[in-house]
Amino acid sequence: MDNQPPLVAEIEELLRRYLQAHPQANDSERGIREWWLRNTPRSYSAADVHEAIQRLVASGELAKLVLPDGQCTYASSGGSRNRNP
């Protein structure tokens, strides 16, 4: 198991659950903070959300899409890992 900050791991799990419920979701980092995490019991810093997103991109669970204007959005890559074999 890797050493990641507990809040980042919590955010990753919340994002996985969101994507399970909304497999077609696609949003910017800001949209993820404001919409995907809006019903959570706490608020998360932009830095922690960014780190969680980057970790999910690196693991292949999220796809990073670069728009023509240079902005980035994130969506399920369709390759989520099974955490409980």
Query: pTM for this structure?
Result: 0.85
Measured from the Cβ of residue 61, the count of other Cβ atoms closer than 10 Å reads 20
- Taking only the tens place, the pLDDT of each residue in 6-53 is 899 999 999 999 999 999 999 999 999 999 999 998 889 999 999 999
pLDDT at residue 52 in the model: 97
Measured from the Cβ of residue 81, the count of other Cβ atoms closer than 10 Å reads 10
DSSP 8-state symbol, 32 = I
Band the pLDDT of 3: cuts 50, 70, 90. low
Q: Which residues are bridge partners to 63 per DSSP? A: 75
- Taking only the tens place, the pLDDT of each residue in 52-61 is 999 999 999 9
What CATH class has 6-76?
mainly alpha
Indicate the domain borders of the chain: 6-76
Q: Is the pLDDT of residue 81 over 70?
A: no
